[in-house]
Chains A and B, each alone.
Chain A
Amino acid sequence: MTTFLHTADWQLGLTLGRVEGDRGARARNQRFDTVQRIAALAVEHAVDAVVVPGDVFDDNSVGPHHVQALRDALRDFPCPVLLLPGNHDPATADSALRRLAPAEHGLDHVHVLLTDEPVVIGEATFFPAPLFRRQSPDDPCAGLPERGDDAGIRVAVAHGSVHDFSRGSDPNNCIDLRALLAKGFDFVALGDWHGLQIVDPRAAYSGTHEATKFSEKDPGQVLLVEISEAGATPVLTPLPVARTRWVAPPPRHLDGGADVDALLAELDALEDRSWTLVQLRLSGVLSLTDRTRLSVALERHAGELMHLDADLSEVRQQLTTEEVEQLDTPGFLGSAVDTLRALDTPDAERALATLVHLIHGAA
């Protein structure tokens, strides 16, 4: 029987540049804090090990403070922690994991898997398949040994895209999962895919512990893996761990004030707002009043949320008849309003909004 936590793609050192200021700093630091939350889960579930198959760091050129922050976070783990080089932090000469040097910093329970030397922990043997380059057309697991006479629990630790899973994506670092499982592994702990994805009863991507972008599906979890004996089907239990929430609803078409009201109501209903990042892709046609109302409201939400990425480039504005009548534009101003309305381009819409604003201001 062996029990371990499978987590991956911590991408430590990722700055999340889109989130500016203090909120950006909180988001960045949270990636380390969540590592400590994983340590707490390790304690809670009394696991034999924690396996991190790749992309521990976002890049090998992260600064020394990131490396030290990881050292500090790793001290909280009660069990061996296996750190595998991935495509973001391959085992090159400048490897950040190499710089971690756990043995030199009293982290004897931390194993940096810079070679394919197996690591035996309890009843299980972990077979690492480290990446030595950021991109390689070769299967990183091609060299892992077959079971042979080994009667113990065998776990492959690898980073890359499995064949069936990555069809149409990057052809580098591709893993032939069928061939790998045919070698007699009880479980393949995979890294690279940032969302939780169980690709086989014996193989899974745990995903990243904290999301890095809106397009990721089911990030922010770790997998509790329990294998009773060699040959037994692993029991996989996802455990939520992320602190940040990344909300990216489908692109929404706004057609009038009611739609604006509905959208704003949904935004108002968001909880834990200071840890929530929202991406909005909006389109439609709004009156000047609704467009202004929407902009003002989004401005407010942008201030409250950890981050708001609202794309309103496809939201067109049209002066309603009432708005035109309210303008009271004598002389050439009325002519200019008519000209801009007839142009029906984004620039013309912006110009019209400015003109309306100025007319109101002058009046």
Chain B
Amino acid sequence: MQILSLEVFDWCGLDHATLSTFSDRLTVVSGPNEAGKSRLVEALHFALFESHRGAASHKRELRSWGSSAAPRVVLRFAVDGQEFTVEKQFLDRPSCTLSTAGRTWTDRQALEELKRLVDARALNDRKSVAADLGLWPLVWVRQGRSRTNPSADLNADVQSTLESTLADQIGAVATGPVGLQVVDRVEKLASDFYTPTGRPTGTLLAATTARDEARERLHKATEAVSLVRTLADEVTRLQAKQESLVERERDARTRVAQARAADDDAASARVELEKQELIRQRAEDAVLAAERALEEQVALTERLEAIESRLSSLTTEASALDARAAGLEDDRIALDEERAAAKLLVQQARDLVADARALRQHTQAVALLEAREAQVTTAATLSERSTALRAAVDASPWDAERLQALDQAAQAATAAAAALAQAAVAVRFTAAEATTLSGETLSAGQERVFSTVRPLELVLPVGTVTVTPGAATPAEREAADQEARTALAAILGDCPSVAEARLRGEQRRDASIRLEECTQRLAALVPNGLAAAQASLEAQRDDLGATPTAALPLADAEQSLATANQSVDTLDARSTLLADALRDLRVERAACDTEAATLREEAAALRPRLDRLDDAETLTTLKGEAAQRLAAAVTLSSALRDAFAEAGGAETKATLRRRERALAALGSRLQQVRTTLATTVAQLEARVGEDLHGEVQAAEAEVTRTEAALCRIEARAESLRLLLHTLQGARDALQERLVGPVRQRIEPQIRRIFPNSRLAFDEAGRVIGLETGAVTEPFEKLSGGAQEQLGILVRMGLASIVAGDRRIPIVLDDALVNTDRRRLEAMLAAFDEAAESQLQVIVFTCHEADFDQLGADVHHALTGTRS
């Protein structure tokens, strides 16, 4: 379809306005505000889509203020190359005429034909205009509508057409209404099982909960039955325990009775036994008494006989002792005489020893004196040598200190001479013929050598030769040399040379060493001095006196003294032994007397006791009779003891006590078991009346039912989820393919303005905004400029896709008011490209200059104002 011209009469304040031509590419209608642009856009709309009938408010507003003329519009357009003219008059005598070459339709027929031409579903129902006008809402961008999401103007017909067109282009079948319904239905079905995030909900959650609750009920019911069974088992166990305890208690009572009877029997036996034990004890005492009497009688008799015998022996022993004492006394007297003689000999030997010792001491003193005299003589010789050496040392001045000073002075003199020698000049003069030199006459061939450190003049007959040494300081070196020589001479003194001085120093050191040796030896020989030693020697000679005499040599004298002392000691020992023997005899003799007296006293005491006892024969008879009585008593006691032991002996009471305690314990345990049993039976009886089995089975059935239901529901839910995912996947894949041509058509223009973004589509393939990276910016969130730029580009793109080969107009009324200069250039380029394809672009604007660069083929400048 192509708009060719538009003319209005009495139209919203416009008495008459004409847009005589429209380019099939680009047409700009400009003019200031109130120039009538939007009214003309409305006129286009009324000419094509509004019924001429009716006087609704939006139609009444068409009438010019204060005018009674009916609003009228005449539109020429072409469809598929055929030109049509539609003329509509509103409000007064409304009419509609559609004409083409050779044919005219009026009124309803005109509207029907017009509807067919514009490919609209209906033209006269204003409410359904957007839904029924096909593509027109998309390409008819009225003032203020440019920022609306194009998807809002994409009705179902266009959507379907678009999908079909795109599907045709990519060779696939579009989603279609059936597909959308199915997806919607599956989503609703799945929502009864899963939340959008995939969590169970609705029927699935309820089934899971029902299953869990059923399991819980079954668990509780089973536990109740288990409890009853446990109680029943416990009752059975307690009953068996009770029976066992009753039996055991009965046995325990019997055993207690038996123990009590045994204890009674044992008590009787014990009484008889105790009586017999007394009898046996008395018999045993009688036997013992008889035995003791007999033993005493025998012992007394034997003792008295022994005493008599011993007294006789003691008398004999006393006599012998007395004889031995007399002999010993005689021996003692003879020994005393021998001891006196021996002591005299000892005294004589001591005198001989003393004489011999005095002689030996004198001889030793003479020898010592002679030796001392030799030492004093040696000391005198050493003293003289020492005096001579000290004089030599003292006479020589060349001690070590002076020798050290000499060495230093000699070294200094040598060094100074060397320094001077370095500064000296040597001059050799050889006379070639006889001549004089400094007054000395020289013959031919005679030589003179001069060495000097000072300027020297050699006077020759023919002139004077002046020799000047080259050194810088000859005078100082000469003075130093002289000074060193003077110092060396001072140290040498009268010594002719340094070597001599050193020789003399060596000699002095040797003399000093020898002097030290002499002094040390002298001190050893005569520590107090030679004079004192000589005086002491003289005094010792005076003390020596005359030489004593001796009868025997000292050894012989000492041997004689030892022999005499030994003889005395032997006699003293014999005297001591003799005295001891004599004393022992006297003690032994006294003991004999004492023992005899004691024995006599004992015998005197024993005889009365013996007299009181029967004789041995009588006592033996009595003992035999008592022993017979004891044997009989022992036999009877043994028998009674056996009888007591047979009755249980001393254990019967302990056994009785133990069994009584056991019986009491059994009774207590039995009572406990009875109490517990009664309690347990009561608990059991309280539960057995319930239909627990029914509850268990009902719960089991419920678990089975809920599990089966859950299984079915889970299968249903899973299949729905699978179905939904499959459908969504298939739809997404298809939509991605479907939107491919849209992207291909629109996105080159999009990138001019939004270089890093691409179109974002919803699941129905509608543009919903821009994708930048992973972020989707909804259309509604874009800036105003971006909204109108993106909206117009999408509208043009979709329109061109839907139009296919047909040419259709796109009408933009003040569409880019929020667009900056740079983007406006891009948009104009997009308009131009759209016009080059199949869009008839008609721009109404109040910013005429903005579209200077568009290159519009037709430009209408409106100047009129509202009348």
Question: Which residues of A line the B interface, CB within 8 A?
Answer: 13-15, 17-18, 20, 58-66, 92-95, 99, 132, 134, 329-336, 339-340, 343, 346-352, 354-355, 358-359, 361-363
- Chain B residue nearest to A58 (CB atoms) is B693
In whole Å, how far is B516's beta carbon from the nearest beta carbon of chain A? 128
Inter-subunit contact B734/A332 (CB<8 Å): yes
Return the CB mask of B229-241 against A: 1 if under 8 Å, else 0. 1011111100100
Chain B contacts for A331, CB-based, 8 A: 167, 172-176, 179, 731, 734
Inter-subunit contact A332/B731 (CB<8 Å): yes
B690 at the interface (CB under 8 A from A): yes
- Chain A residue nearest to B226 (CB atoms) is A61
- Chain B residue nearest to A13 (CB atoms) is B693
- Chain B residue nearest to A96 (CB atoms) is B688
In whole Å, how far is B290's beta carbon from the nearest beta carbon of chain A? 78
Inter-subunit contact A330/B178 (CB<8 Å): yes
- Chain A residue nearest to B239 (CB atoms) is A93
The listed residue with most A CB atoms (<10 A of its CB), out of B174, B225, B693, is B693
Q: Which among A18, A349, A363 is the interface contact of B178 at CB below 8 angstroms?
A: A363
Tell me how many residues of B have a C-beta within 8 Å of chain A: 57
B66 at the interface (CB under 8 A from A): no
B624 at the interface (CB under 8 A from A): no
B304 at the interface (CB under 8 A from A): no
Cα separation A333 to B719 with both chains bound (whole Å): 16
Chain A contacts for B702, CB-based, 8 A: 17
Inter-subunit contact A351/B720 (CB<8 Å): yes
Inter-subunit contact B723/A354 (CB<8 Å): yes
Chain A contacts for B598, CB-based, 8 A: none
A-B pairs, top 7 by smallest CB distance, nearest first, are A17-B701, A63-B691, A93-B235, A350-B719, A351-B723, A94-B232, A61-B692
For this complex, 19 residue pairs linking A to B, each with C-beta atoms less than 8 Å apart, are A17-B700, A17-B705, A18-B704, A59-B225, A61-B228, A61-B696, A93-B235, A331-B734, A332-B175, A333-B178, A335-B730, A336-B730, A339-B730, A343-B722, A346-B715, A354-B720, A354-B723, A355-B182, A362-B181
Which residues of chain B from 582 to 621 have any CB-CB distance to chain A below 8 Å in the complex? Answer: none
Chain B contacts for A334, CB-based, 8 A: 173
Cα separation A347 to B186 with both chains bound (whole Å): 15
Return the CB mask of B668-694 against A: 1 if under 8 Å, else 0. 000000000000010010011111111
B533 at the interface (CB under 8 A from A): no
Cα separation A340 to B735 with both chains bound (whole Å): 19
Query: Apart from A60-B229, A61-B690, A330-B179, what 17 extra A-B contacts exist at CB < 8 Å?
Result: A13-B691, A13-B694, A17-B704, A60-B693, A61-B688, A61-B692, A64-B689, A331-B175, A332-B175, A336-B726, A347-B722, A350-B715, A350-B718, A351-B722, A351-B723, A354-B186, A362-B182
Chain B contacts for A330, CB-based, 8 A: 173-174, 176, 178-179
- Chain A residue nearest to B690 (CB atoms) is A63
Cα separation A65 to B224 with both chains bound (whole Å): 19
Inter-subunit contact A93/B236 (CB<8 Å): yes
Inter-subunit contact A17/B730 (CB<8 Å): no
Inter-subunit contact A62/B178 (CB<8 Å): no
Inter-subunit contact B167/A340 (CB<8 Å): no
Inter-subunit contact A358/B691 (CB<8 Å): no
Inter-subunit contact B727/A94 (CB<8 Å): no
Inter-subunit contact A335/B715 (CB<8 Å): no
Cα separation A291 to B718 with both chains bound (whole Å): 20
Return the CB mask of B211-245 against A: 1 if under 8 Å, else 0. 00000000000001100110111111001000000
Chain A contacts for B233, CB-based, 8 A: 92-93
Inter-subunit contact A61/B179 (CB<8 Å): no
In whole Å, how far is B678's beta carbon from the nearest beta carbon of chain A? 12
Chain B contacts for A350, CB-based, 8 A: 715-716, 718-719
- Chain B residue nearest to A95 (CB atoms) is B232
Cα separation A334 to B698 with both chains bound (whole Å): 47
Q: A92-B236, A330-B173, A350-B719 are in contact. Are A340 and B726 (CB under 8 A)?
A: yes
B697 at the interface (CB under 8 A from A): yes
Inter-subunit contact A17/B719 (CB<8 Å): no
Inter-subunit contact B225/A61 (CB<8 Å): yes
Chain B contacts for A332, CB-based, 8 A: 175, 179, 727, 730-731, 733-735
Q: A14-B697, A92-B232, A92-B236 are in contact. Are A339 and B726 (CB under 8 A)?
A: yes
Return the CB mask of B132-155 against A: 1 if under 8 Å, else 0. 000000000000000000000000
Return the CB mask of B721-745 against A: 1 if under 8 Å, else 0. 0110011011101110000000000
Which residues of chain B from 159 to 216 have any CB-CB distance to chain A below 8 Å in the complex? Answer: 167, 172-176, 178-179, 181-182, 185-186, 189
The listed residue with most A CB atoms (<10 A of its CB), out of B186, B697, B726, is B726
Chain B contacts for A18, CB-based, 8 A: 701, 704
Q: A13-B693, A17-B700, A63-B691 are in contact. Are A336 and B231 (CB under 8 A)?
A: no
Cα separation A332 to B737 with both chains bound (whole Å): 11
Cα separation A110 to B719 with both chains bound (whole Å): 59
Chain A contacts for B718, CB-based, 8 A: 347, 350
Cα separation A346 to B715 with both chains bound (whole Å): 8
Cα separation A132 to B229 with both chains bound (whole Å): 12
Q: A330-B176, A351-B720, A354-B719 are in contact. Are A94 and B701 (CB under 8 A)?
A: no
Chain A contacts for B176, CB-based, 8 A: 330-331
Chain A contacts for B684, CB-based, 8 A: 93-94
In whole Å, how far is A175's beta carbon from the nearest beta carbon of chain B? 22
Inter-subunit contact A358/B179 (CB<8 Å): no
- Chain B residue nearest to A19 (CB atoms) is B701
Cα separation A17 to B730 with both chains bound (whole Å): 45
Q: Which among A62, A132, A347 is the interface contact of B715 at CB below 8 angstroms?
A: A347
Inter-subunit contact B228/A94 (CB<8 Å): yes
Q: A17-B698, A331-B175, A333-B182 are in contact. Are A351 and B726 (CB under 8 A)?
A: yes
Q: A92-B232, A340-B723 are in contact. Are A17 and B182 (CB under 8 A)?
A: no
The listed residue with most B CB atoms (<10 A of its CB), out of A58, A335, A336, is A336
The listed residue with most A CB atoms (<10 A of its CB), out of B174, B232, B733, is B232
Inter-subunit contact B733/A348 (CB<8 Å): no
Chain A contacts for B720, CB-based, 8 A: 351, 354
Inter-subunit contact A362/B178 (CB<8 Å): yes
In whole Å, how far is A129's beta carbon from the nearest beta carbon of chain B? 17
Cα separation A219 to B808 with both chains bound (whole Å): 86
Which residues of chain B from 260 to 308 have any CB-CB distance to chain A below 8 Å in the complex? Answer: none
- Chain A residue nearest to B688 (CB atoms) is A94
Chain B contacts for A348, CB-based, 8 A: 719, 722
Chain A contacts for B716, CB-based, 8 A: 350
Inter-subunit contact A362/B697 (CB<8 Å): no
The listed residue with most B CB atoms (<10 A of its CB), out of A59, A65, A95, is A59
In whole Å, how far is B709's beta carbon from the nearest beta carbon of chain A? 12
Chain A contacts for B189, CB-based, 8 A: 354
In whole Å, how far is B771's beta carbon from the nearest beta carbon of chain A? 22
Inter-subunit contact B225/A359 (CB<8 Å): no
Inter-subunit contact A351/B719 (CB<8 Å): yes
In whole Å, how far is B226's beta carbon from the nearest beta carbon of chain A? 10
- Chain A residue nearest to B719 (CB atoms) is A350
In whole Å, how far is B725's beta carbon from the nearest beta carbon of chain A? 9
Q: Which among B178, B231, B700, B715 is the interface contact of A94 at CB below 8 angstroms?
A: B231
Cα separation A346 to B716 with both chains bound (whole Å): 10
Cα separation A355 to B723 with both chains bound (whole Å): 7
- Chain A residue nearest to B715 (CB atoms) is A350
The listed residue with most B CB atoms (<10 A of its CB), out of A58, A61, A66, A332, is A332
Inter-subunit contact B691/A66 (CB<8 Å): yes
Inter-subunit contact B727/A333 (CB<8 Å): yes
Inter-subunit contact B229/A94 (CB<8 Å): yes
- Chain B residue nearest to A345 (CB atoms) is B722
Cα separation A119 to B537 with both chains bound (whole Å): 161
- Chain B residue nearest to A64 (CB atoms) is B689
- Chain A residue nearest to B700 (CB atoms) is A17
Chain B contacts for A64, CB-based, 8 A: 689, 691
Cα separation A66 to B731 with both chains bound (whole Å): 62
Inter-subunit contact B236/A20 (CB<8 Å): no
Cα separation A286 to B692 with both chains bound (whole Å): 45
Cα separation A134 to B735 with both chains bound (whole Å): 68
Cα separation A333 to B697 with both chains bound (whole Å): 47
Inter-subunit contact B693/A62 (CB<8 Å): yes
